[in-house]
Each structure stands twice: as C-alpha cells, then as structure tokens.
C-alpha cells in the first residue's frame, strides 16, 4: 500500500503490524476531524446533564423535556430573572383551579424554575431587563408516596458553571427546598400562581 505523508511517499504492507497501526491512527484522525467539523472547531462538553443527580435525591433526568413545558409565570429576585415552567399535569391542574380550588396538585405534577443572571438589553428602545448567562435550574415533583415527609414534593437545584458548561447539584436529598416552601403550605407548597393570560 502506498500512502502520501506530506510530499514523501511511504510503502506499507497491509499485513504488517505497522500498516495496521497506521490505518488505526488514520481512522482516529478522521474521526477527530469529523467531530471538530461538526462542532465548528469548538470543544464539546463531556457532561451529560441527564446523568447529574443530587446525592440521595432527584436526578436531572427525571425532568427530561422541561425546556418544552409551558410557562406558568416569570419573576425577578435581586440580580436574577426567572421563568417558571410546568409539565402538562401541572398546567392542567392550574387551569382547573389548583390549589385555590381546595385540591392539591396531582402526583406527577412537575415544575422547573430557570434562573438567569439579569442584564439590560442593548437593543431595546427603552430600559428592558433580559436574561444573560444561565445561573441554575430548580425542579419540583409531586409524588405523595415518595415524598410524604416533605409535603408530597421533592426538590432539586442544579447550579450551572458557564466556564465548564456543566451542572452541579446543590446539597443532598430531595428536601432541599422544603423548609422554604412551608411558608406556602396552604397553597400546596407552591409559590407561583398561574396568572390570567
């Protein structure tokens, strides 16, 4: 077999170990070239966020698809701007009047709260606050069997690090938000109302 390396021509026997090794290196180089071409030359983050889990608590994977959930409301707290999302079970319960109708949210209801650092828009004609870099994502899931000790809700927070493009769990267990949410125990431990739209 004849291969070109720069301007020199190299003869290699296909049956020789050196020839096999050269083929392996060429294949690996081609694979790397494809990855770099697909990623635009940028390094691809090695973290699979769906593999991240709060120790002894909720896994990010339990909320797969949250990006497509409907908006419940937005809020702002200090230097953060947030959007609160609900899965279809949560939205249906809100539309039926929960929790003001005296009924709790059903098992399977899930919420996500995405926090971004806030910034002023450079394009808007009047002062407008918009999301900047991702800060963290909080999750809640209602499961009366699994989380009976925490008002039937499990909680998780995953902090985002922009430099490494990765998430890290906050704390341990599924009760990390419970103490805070007891303030709204009469509203089935949910702070966010479903405003008219």
Which tens digits make up the pLDDT trace of 105-123? 999 999 999 999 999 999 9
Cβ atoms within 10 Å of 80's Cβ, excluding its own:
16
Ordered by where they begin, the domains of the chain are: 2-38 (no CATH), 49-187 (3.50.70.20)
Mapped to the 3 state alphabet, what secondary structure does 104-120 carry? Answer: CCCCCCEEEEEEEEEEE
pLDDT of residue 47: 86
Name residues whose C-beta falls within 8 Å of residue 165's C-beta, 6 or more positions apart in sequence: 45, 47
Question: Which has the closest alpha carbon to 184: 98, 67, 114, 107?
Answer: 98
pLDDT tens digit string along 2-50? 444 444 444 444 445 555 445 554 554 544 444 444 444 445 446 899 9
37 or 135: which carries more pLDDT confidence? 135
pLDDT of residue 13: 46
The pTM of this model reads 0.75
Q: Is the pLDDT of residue 64 over 70?
A: yes
CB 177 within 8 Å of CB 191: no
Exposed, middle or buried: residue 184 (CB in 10 Å: 0-12, 13-18, 19+)? middle
Taking the C-alpha atoms of residue 146 and residue 149, their distance in angstroms, rounded to an integer, is: 8
CB 118 within 8 Å of CB 152: no
Cβ atoms within 10 Å of 59's Cβ, excluding its own:
16
């Amino acid at each position: 077999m004849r291969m070109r390396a720069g301007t020199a021509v190299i003869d290699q026997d296909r049956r020789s170990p050196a020839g096999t090794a050269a083929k392996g290196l060429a294949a690996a180089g081609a694979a790397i070239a494809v990855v770099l071409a697909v990623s635009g030359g940028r390094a691809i983050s090695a973290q699979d966020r769906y593999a991240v889990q709060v120790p002894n608590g909720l896994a990010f994977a339990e909320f797969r698809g949250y990006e497509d959930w409907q908006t419940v409301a937005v809020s702002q707290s200090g230097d953060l701007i947030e959007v609160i999302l609900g899965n279809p079970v949560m939205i249906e319960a809100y539309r039926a009047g929960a929790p003001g109708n005296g009924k709790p949210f059903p098992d399977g209801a899930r919420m996500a709260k995405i926090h971004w650092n806030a910034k002023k828009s450079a394009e808007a004609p009047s002062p407008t606050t918009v999301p900047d870099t991702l800060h963290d994502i909080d999750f809640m899931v209602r499961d009366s069997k699994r989380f009976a000790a925490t008002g039937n809700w499990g909680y998780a927070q995953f902090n985002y690090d922009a430099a490494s493009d990765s998430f890290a769990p906050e704390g341990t267990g599924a009760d990390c938000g419970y103490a805070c949410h007891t303030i709204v125990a009469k509203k089935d431990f949910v702070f966010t109302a479903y405003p008219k739209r």
